[in-house]
A and B are shown apart, each in its own frame.
Chain A
Amino acid sequence: MSAELPILPEEEIVRKKLDWELLKRLLRYLRPYRGSVVLSVALLIVLSGLALVGPYLTKIAIDRAIAAEGIARAERVRILARMGLLFLLVLALEFSLRYAQVWITQLIGQKVQYDLRMEIFAHLEKMSLRFFSKNPVGRLLTRVTSDIEALNELFTAGVVEIFGDVFLLAGIVTAMLLLDARLALTLFAVLPFLFAASLVFRLKVRDAFRDVRTRVAKMNAYLQESLVGMQVIQLFGAEGRSFARFDDRNRDHLLAHLRTVFYFAVFFPVIEVIGAAAVALLVWKGGSEVLEGTVTFGALAAFLQYTAQFFRPIRDLSEKYNILQGAMASSERIFDLLDTEPEIRAPEHPARPGPLREAIRFENVSFAYDGGDPVLRDIDLTVRRGERVALVGATGSGKSTLVTLLGRFYDVGAGAIRIDGVDLRSMDPGDLRRRIGTVLQDVFLFSGTVDRNIRLGDESIPRERMVEAARIANAERFIERLPGGYDHLLRERGAGLSAGEKQLLAFSRALAADPEIFVLDEATSNIDSETEALIQKALERILAERTSLVVAHRLSTIRNVDRIVVLHRGRIREEGTHEELLAAGGIYKTLVDLEYRNGG
């Protein structure tokens, strides 16, 4: 039965040799489902057995009833009825067991997939920022998605089904040998051809499909690039040349496909010819045995049916190796990720200092991102309890990095940061971060409701506190204007909200957690003057109550703080109040003249 139906374009398969260590580690994931695996294999054995029954029943029906002479007609009719009913029973049994088997196997595959996905995701959540800056989101995403799917095939189609194919083949061979060894051995003469044809086809088609895949990728990449850059194509009158380039890729793609069409067009007829050869052998050799009386008509018919059953498992088996290879590459990538230790971890016995009594101290802190130039050098800075400190400086002066270090998203390169004398590194990062309310420069919004974005799913924050936080942050008014209020669904990354509104949401988010320390990396974006005023009022209220460290871009924000620290090229260059610094006429004065606007 030739069908294009089951042949789906395979995932990008990187060739990889079988690696037993990897395979063993993979198979460990099947352990929790041992029982189901055993059941599934047992069902496969039963099913292989059942597949042999049908042809045998046919044999009995022919020999004892249909072609049986010298037996009473009533008896023959009775035997026929018995065989017919038995056959029906076998069909029904086969149907239900096959369904159960497929279901169980798929469930195992899905569960293993689920477990792996959870493990990877949980592991990713543990990794530190440095890891994410080195690994692009897209690449990590494929670990949780397509890499796992490649493994799914191994756990379902690979490991379990391989038993089914082997059992079925063994069963057919045995049945044939038992029926008539001589005829069976004659028939096995076609097997090498069948094996060879299947193998050659698999290899050819695999290469051809790989070609197709790379060409599809090339063509689609070109198409996408053209769609994105259409304006440039049109501006430069390059439509004709661009079309020619596309046509090249489209034609390559066509040719690759025609090659696979060719292989399929050859393969199916060849298999049928091999099948016909088997039938011809049966008629020729089997026929003469019938004449000799050494084989019955029934056995001949059974042979015919067994031959037809032979083909599928042989074709399947040649495919299994491909699946194994594909799984190797994916599992290696997955295990590489799982074996990467998170850089920032809680110490075994973390210090748990009480509420802030005295001060946060940066002591001689230096820091550089991976192998780069130092971003911060010898920073000594004390923020006392209840004090509000603003960091100012030009782009690239290290302000944002400084506040990032306070949340221990990176560890300092040299020196230390201490809270009441306790080094951050001796604390649980979770405990530390819970004490700090952070508002980042680029407000990140999750898809979901306003509520989800303020409470971030923390059910321990009462709804009243969320509403109160939104009120203090001046976000209440615009939230209530949204359809559904707090239950309003935000679109992707908060599309539809203005930059100012996003800022207010971020304030609410930080306040809802009721932090002891407030850290703000002020947004630089343009905000309409009305929202700007709301933000300033909210900030006034927020800062009045908390120890704060603020990266400031607005003069009005700076007016709300006790002390200003001027960073320039990674060093603290000036420190003091607004008036003092202005009077000194240094970097700060220039900065103020340059970019600090008064309320928009």
Chain B
Amino acid sequence: MKELLRLRPYLARYRASYLWGTLFVLLTNIFTLLAPLVLKRAVDDLRAGALAFPLAAYAAALLGLALVQAVFRFLMRRIMIGASRRIEYDLRNDLFDHLQRLSPAFYERNRTGDLMARATNDLNAVRMFLGPAIMYLANTFFTFAFGLALMISIDLRLTLLSLLPFPFLSIVVNRLGKAMHIRFERIQEQYADLTAHVQENLSGIRVVKAFVREKDEIERFRRLNLEFIRRNMDLVKVWGLFFPVMSFLTGIALVIVLWVGGLRVVGGGLTLGGFVAFTSYLAMLAWPAIALGWVLNLVQRGAASMGRIGAILDEKPAIVSGEGRDAPPVRGALRFENVSLGTNGTAILSNINLSMPEGSVTAVVGPIGSGKTSLVRLIPRLLDPTGGRLLLDGVPLADLPLERLRGAIGYVPQETFLFSLTVAENIRYGAPDLSDEDLARVARLARIDEDAKLFPNGYDTVVGERGVLLSGGQKQRIALARALARGPRILVLDDALSAVDLRTEEEILEGLRAFREGRTTVIVSHRVSAVRDADRIVVLEGGRIAEEGTHAELAAREGPYARIHRKQLLSRKLEEID
């Protein structure tokens, strides 16, 4: 339960709502529970044949109490459930804010699906605690406190006897609720298996057909399907009891009043009016007793969920911003000093020493898995090295405010990720104040301007499923424009044009020539054509620098670079045959 203590600051923020809400719970109950007393008086008067007030007055009193009660009940629900929704909102914002601070390493450890479950299912369980659970808890408390007092004032013994089934009601609801929860989860598991089987069959349909396994796969599906309905019926066994048990136990209480209460009336210890009032009270107490059992489950589930959410909130960002000293504007000279990077004992980069002077162009080439991407990810501190250090204009990166560092970098990642915003909004993603002219300029530089004209709404076309589906090359060019839009001191292109055809790539690189002037550029590429003009080419192999130099130097030296170069010339040749 101590997990729920984390909610204290939130509850404190809405203290007034909860206090008012509780007050309205109290008032609702007072007015609700007064009604049977009116009924009692009316029946007793009728029985005696002497009306103290006209019948219409009793009727008006009943209606009046109901109206007042209704107003308070409205306020109670509105305020208390409303507060829980507001806390949910705050909590979700806080969670999102915290998630934005966590480093890429966290996202590699945690699956998106799990994080989504925290922000949806778990948050909802916490909300159920904050809203219905607290409200019904207060309601049950007041209903029983007043209800019992009023019933006892009518007849103590009958009160005790008729309430006998109520504790069972709470217990049964609680137990059934728990059992239902467990069985429901088992259904969900089977459902996941069932779904996975279908998904797997659809994705692997070619194999299923090639090996003529259709019949066998259907048979497998039949077994999963059978187990699924078996588990569903398992739930029905418990769930089916829920409402019958509730009406059975409340019915028993009614029988007790009818029988024992009836005897009391016959014996003269209770008036007919008292008897009628009693039956009303029982009906009013049944729901709070049921709610109590349910609420206990909500509290438990809420605590478990809050624990899981808390685990994320306790997560410390692995990459911490440096102090915000008033450093001079970034110029763009980068230096790698003996940089190493390793995870779980495997070295990804070893002893990298590199200097990238301001305004220079450095190209990184090498086979898949040689560490090229890791190398450039160190620059905006998406990763921190495990050994050595990086310096920007002579200052260690760790000492720079992250905002300043990343603000100076235009980065085009290998895997293009665009948001489902408009093309213009995507390009302005890192530079919201970019003017329309500048937007057109960077779009032209990235050679996306011609394409944009063909989109249904030009630059205002939404990217993705709801809008236009872009080709891989178009996405990459938008991502490039997005990086250029920041007017960065350092431009990092991580295999950024792999889906763009050769000719367009060359045009883009040609066009960037002027833009690059004075800026530091790092290009990772598989294509020699993209790197040949670099001031320096670094060839990585197995996380180490295998060779470095200019294109002319490396091409002349029978090394790995020369081999790559030769292959690409050939593939050019093949493309020209038709």
Residues of A within 8 A of B (CB): 1-5, 54, 57-58, 61-62, 65-67, 73, 76-77, 80-81, 83-84, 87-88, 91-92, 94-95, 98-99, 102-103, 106-107, 110-111, 113-114, 117-118, 121-122, 124-127, 129, 132, 137, 140-141, 144-145, 220-221, 223-239, 241-243, 246-247, 250-251, 253-254, 257-258, 261-262, 264-266, 268-270, 272-273, 275-277, 279-281, 283-284, 287-288, 290-291, 297, 301, 304, 308, 394, 407, 409, 429-430, 433-434, 436, 438, 440, 444, 446-447, 456-458, 509, 513, 526, 568-569, 587, 590-591, 593-595
User: In the bound complex, do residue A235 and residue B380 qualify as a contact, i.e. CB atoms below 8 Å apart?
Assistant: yes
Q: Does chain A have a CB within 8 A of B413? A: yes
User: In the bound complex, do residue B74 and residue A265 qualify as a contact, i.e. CB atoms below 8 Å apart?
Assistant: yes
Across-interface contacts of B388 in A (CB, < 8 A):
none
Q: Does chain A have a CB within 8 A of B142? A: no
- Which of chain A's residues has its CB closest to B104's CB? A231
Tell me the complex Cα distance, A257–B252, Å. 38
Across-interface contacts of B62 in A (CB, < 8 A):
276, 279-280, 283
User: In the bound complex, do residue B107 and residue A137 qualify as a contact, i.e. CB atoms below 8 Å apart?
Assistant: no
Q: Mark B41-67, 1 if CB is under 8 A from A, else 0.
A: 011001101000001101110110111
Across-interface contacts of A272 in B (CB, < 8 A):
66, 69-70, 73
Tell me the complex Cα distance, A591–B279, Å. 93
Across-interface contacts of A569 in B (CB, < 8 A):
578
Across-interface contacts of B96 in A (CB, < 8 A):
223, 226, 243, 246, 250
- 13 extra interface residue pairs, beta carbon distance < 8 Å, beyond A254-B86, A287-B58, A594-B570: A58-B258, A66-B261, A98-B244, A114-B225, A117-B221, A121-B218, A126-B214, A137-B203, A223-B116, A280-B59, A284-B59, A297-B47, A430-B212
CB distance from B344 to the nearest CB of A (A): 15
User: In the bound complex, do residue B420 and residue A225 qualify as a contact, i.e. CB atoms below 8 Å apart?
Assistant: yes
Across-interface contacts of B191 in A (CB, < 8 A):
145
CB distance from B224 to the nearest CB of A (A): 10
Most B-side CB within 10 Å, residue of A145, A265, A433, A447: A265
B88, B89, B196, B574: the one contacting A447 at CB < 8 Å is B196
Contact sample, A vs B, 28 pairs, CB 8 Å cutoff: A54-B254, A66-B266, A87-B254, A99-B241, A117-B225, A124-B201, A140-B202, A145-B198, A220-B119, A225-B420, A228-B417, A230-B99, A230-B102, A231-B107, A231-B382, A232-B417, A253-B89, A257-B85, A261-B82, A273-B70, A301-B276, A394-B575, A430-B212, A430-B214, A444-B203, A444-B206, A447-B200, A590-B574
Taking A1-B287, A87-B255 as contacts, is the C-beta distance between A80 and B206 under 8 angstroms? no
Q: Does chain A have a CB within 8 A of B81? A: yes
User: In the bound complex, do residue A121 and residue B206 qualify as a contact, i.e. CB atoms below 8 Å apart?
Assistant: no
Q: Does chain A have a CB within 8 A of B39? A: yes
Across-interface contacts of B578 in A (CB, < 8 A):
569
Q: Mark B387-413, 1 if CB is under 8 A from A, else 0.
A: 000000000000000010011010101
Tell me the complex Cα distance, A513–B213, Å. 11
CB distance from A87 to the nearest CB of B (A): 5
Taking A262-B78, A394-B574 as contacts, is the C-beta distance between A440 and B206 under 8 angstroms? yes
Across-interface contacts of A593 in B (CB, < 8 A):
570
Tell me the complex Cα distance, A280–B55, Å. 9
Q: Does chain A have a CB within 8 A of B368? A: yes
- Which of chain B's residues has its CB closest to A126's CB? B214
User: In the bound complex, do residue A230 and residue B104 qualify as a contact, i.e. CB atoms below 8 Å apart?
Assistant: yes
Interface residues of B in 190-232 (CB under 8 A from A): 191, 194-196, 198-214, 216-218, 220-222, 225-226, 228-229, 232
User: In the bound complex, do residue B42 and residue A283 qualify as a contact, i.e. CB atoms below 8 Å apart?
Assistant: yes
User: In the bound complex, do residue A234 and residue B100 qualify as a contact, i.e. CB atoms below 8 Å apart?
Assistant: yes
Q: Does chain A have a CB within 8 A of B77? A: yes
Taking A98-B243, A125-B218, A241-B432 as contacts, is the C-beta distance between A225 and B419 under 8 angstroms? yes
Q: Does chain A have a CB within 8 A of B2? A: no
- Tally the A-B contacts, defined by beta carbons under 8 Å: 359
Q: Does chain A have a CB within 8 A of B236? A: yes
Most A-side CB within 10 Å, residue of B204, B209, B214: B209
User: In the bound complex, do residue B213 and residue A99 qualify as a contact, i.e. CB atoms below 8 Å apart?
Assistant: no
Tell me the complex Cα distance, A229–B420, Å. 11
- Which of chain B's residues has its CB closest to A270's CB? B70
Tell me the complex Cα distance, A498–B163, Å. 68
User: In the bound complex, do residue B258 and residue A103 qualify as a contact, i.e. CB atoms below 8 Å apart?
Assistant: no
User: In the bound complex, do residue A235 and residue B570 qualify as a contact, i.e. CB atoms below 8 Å apart?
Assistant: no
CB distance from A43 to the nearest CB of B (A): 12
CB distance from A459 to the nearest CB of B (A): 9
- Which of chain A's residues has its CB closest to B568's CB? A594
Tell me the complex Cα distance, A281–B407, Å. 74
Tell me the complex Cα distance, A444–B102, Å. 35
- Which of chain B's residues has its CB closest to A257's CB? B85
Q: Does chain A have a CB within 8 A of B132? A: yes
Across-interface contacts of B119 in A (CB, < 8 A):
220, 223
A5, A254, A590: the one contacting B570 at CB < 8 Å is A590
Tell me the complex Cα distance, A65–B255, Å. 14
Q: Mark B514-544, 1 if CB is under 8 A from A, else 0.
A: 0000000000000000000000000000000
